[in-house]
Structure 1
Amino acid sequence: MTINIGETVFFGAARFCRVGMAIALLGIAGCSSTNTSRPVPMAENAGPKDTGTFPNLNIPPQVANKQFTADESKAKLAELKAAKNGQGAKSAGGAAGNQAALTDLAKKHGPQTLEQIEGKCDPTLDPTCK
């Protein structure tokens, strides 16, 4: 009981003092006086200048190749869509397309894997193991 009271009195007060000191320091730092009543003078020749160093961000970059026209873009997009559809047609057949085969595989795969993990049946050591 005494320890809890001591923590509340001493550490609680110190926490408030630290927070108060931090607020005071931030207030002092934030209120430093600067003369903002006059506008800042601008350089006479303000603007982008070529300094001769790399990279010069004031010069637009050159394109690596000519850009696609709208017709070329449509042709390339049609070619990509045709390739996509061709890939989809290939994967639709076989065991992946047959839901019954996938369900049967799911029923058998789990128990077979557990048997191999538990060491009850190792097909590499015993070729007759199923």
Structure 2
Amino acid sequence: MTIKFGETVFFGGGHFCRIGATIMLLGVAGCSSTNTGGPVPMATDAGPKDTGTFPNLNIPPQVAAKQFTETEKNAKLAQLKADEKGQGAKSGGAAVTNQATLTDLAKKHGPQTLKQIEGKCDPALDPTCK
């Protein structure tokens, strides 16, 4: 009995028709609008305009900003390089290239950080803090 019921509901042709009709009714119901104010006005200057002539592609476009000269470019690049070197000095000096040093740092970093965190306490949060 349940097998026959399952075949009828899930695989019968009528089921697809019922689903299609339901989708159609939901779609039509979704198209109705409660806005009675009329159509939304469109911008009058939106989109391309037909001027009756062909565009002249030989006219160079206007630039949005003044272009850098070669000396300005070199000055800005030098400033960026100096800032980059300054950032390297702030972060602890030169980059470590020795893999053994990096591995040792990775092993010690977690426990050292936990000792720093656990060693500090805030009396405002924990009145029993020493």
> Under a length normalisation based on structure 1, what TM-score does the superposition of the two structures give?
0.41
> Under a length normalisation based on structure 2, what TM-score does the superposition of the two structures give?
0.41
